Structure 1
């Protein structure tokens, strides 16, 4: 459907805007020049000016807002602007404001729920035109694998940045747990995601073929073992991205096969 393609473009633009804003705020709030010029900060590393950042942000947020308003005119109701407000709120305060969410233990929660559940809820609402508690809780269960996988991307990033975050006084979840306990939480989130996936099959919400995503488990365990011994970006962030892509690809293939059979 055309509206789904429009939503995809709007979400992509807003996601890119959030990343730009996050990187820019990290640059502005950096306590050490070494971080500003480091590999993790594009603004400082590439000598991007504030005017250039502002222009990119204006274009991306403008695209997302215009397309979002257009979709609201198509679907109507109060839920759409509420979901959009939540997305914009988290997008801004994730890196901005007096106490950015990304610098607190709540980063994983907000990123996982917003990107995993709220976006899926918008897709469902856009396609069925109504929303009830029945649809809302079923969507929550269906989004479980995505919510926990996305939260793990954030957690893996924070585990890899642990030493840097200490120097920059970012008190993330890893700051309070330490890397070893955070790694246990990391593995537990994957288990929680699979439990929600199995629950959707048991309840008849999704076809049994989505359990194809379980084939990613040996890869997750292998990457986790590597991650345990190499707690850097190389051992955390990139492998977690690959895990998420593999899980989602297998999930989508399972959905397609379920529709066919």
Structure 2
């Protein structure tokens, strides 16, 4: 693991030793996809009654642990299938560049799932055991994303799966454990968040399109091609903003929620960052901007609900 190409790649990606090795394994830029839905779902509940902070904290930590574990399963199984090597971009690189034992990564992922399960028990005791069934299904899909005989990540359904489970379902659960009910309005409001979660994966697949195709994957980015994928990414982001505006005009969201449109500048950076780029390293800034779009949009959406609670308008 100490070859010259390996060291050159680590230098190009500005990868450091020590604690940074384990921090990269978590793929921190993806963890906001776990934080945002919990925040939004809880703020939706807060608009109707006082929330339970400890339930919020438990749900937030469990969601982050499941996302981190999913990233580790991705690292482990892509390595085992020979998809990742020391020159792969967009991975933690813990196994192929830092020499960490693959079994250690798998064990850590399972440990994260176990801790998330314990938090889930607390959440169920404080709310409903129906949450356990949904949580177990979510964890199963987190594993099947890259694990199992037919990984979802290798199909055109990765973006949809990520959006539904890391967007809509987490928002619905976060709302349900506070309110003990869930409505179609909450499900509708979750759609733009789910779309932005899905775009994070789409951006990842655009960057990895050539390598994924050579390794037998059939992602949407491969099916659409580079230009088609950028058009699809643009369409998804535009749809999320148009839905947000429609929800505000219909009264489903408060006028404060128009502040989410501030994130359009970051979405534009993401789209522009992919145009004319072909090398994975060149597209890293665009992928980062895509993840930041989700973060900024989600934080502003949650903040708008909080503002409406204390400074109502409309």
The CA distance in 1 between the partners of 2:101 and 2:139, in whole Å, is 24
Q: Secondary structure at the residue paired with 2:96?
A: helix
- 2:120 aligned with 1:68: yes
The structure with the largest helix share of the pair is 1
> Which stretch shows the higher mean deviation, 156-165 or 192-201?
192-201
Unpaired runs of 5+ in structure 2? 1-52
Q: CA deviation at 1:235?
A: 4.2
Q: Deviations over 1:104-149 (max 9, x none)?
A: 1000000011101110111011000134xxx1x2122111221111
- Give CA-to-partner distance per residue, 1:66-118, whole Å, 9 cap, x none: 1101211221243x123113211210110011110001100000001110111
Q: How does 1:80-119 map to 2 (within 5 A)?
A: 80-119=131-170
1:193 shift after superposition: 1.0
TM-score, normalised to structure 2's length?
0.76
1:136-215 map, 5 Å = 137-215=184-262
* Deviation (angstroms), 1:194: 1.4
- Provide Cα deviations, 1:159-215, integer angstroms capped at 9, x if missing partner: 011111122222111111101111111011111111221232233222111111112
Is residue 203–residue 286 contact of structure 2 (8 Å, CA) maintained in 1? yes
Report the Cα distance in structure 1 between the residues aligned to 2:110 and 2:133, rounded to whole angstroms: 22
Q: Give, in whole Å, the separation in 1 of the partners of 2:129 and 2:239.
A: 33
Partner of 1:38: 87
Which of 103, 120, 124 is 2:171 aligned to? Answer: 120
Quote the Cα distance in structure 2 between the aligned partners of 1:93 and 1:205.
34
Distance 1:165 1:179 in 2: 13
Q: Is the CA contact 1:115–1:147 (under 8 Å) kept in the aligned structure 2? A: yes
- Which of 272, 278, 299 pairs up with 1:225? 272
**Counterpart of 1:251?**
301
Q: 2:101 aligns with which of 44, 49, 66?
A: 49
Contact 1:141 1:197 in 2 (8 A): no
Distance 1:92 1:147 in 2: 19
1:4 is the counterpart of 2:56: yes
Question: TM-score, length-normalised on structure 1?
Answer: 0.90
Aligned residue in 1 for 2:75? 23
Q: Could you tell me how far 1:4 is from its partner in structure 2? A: 0.8
Q: Which has the higher contact order (CA 8 A, sep 6+)?
A: 2
- Tell me, in whole angstroms, the C-alpha distance in 2 between the residues paired with 1:235 and 1:55: 31
Matches of 2:302 and 2:127, distance apart in 1: 26
1:229 shift after superposition: 2.0
Matched residue, 1:236 = 286
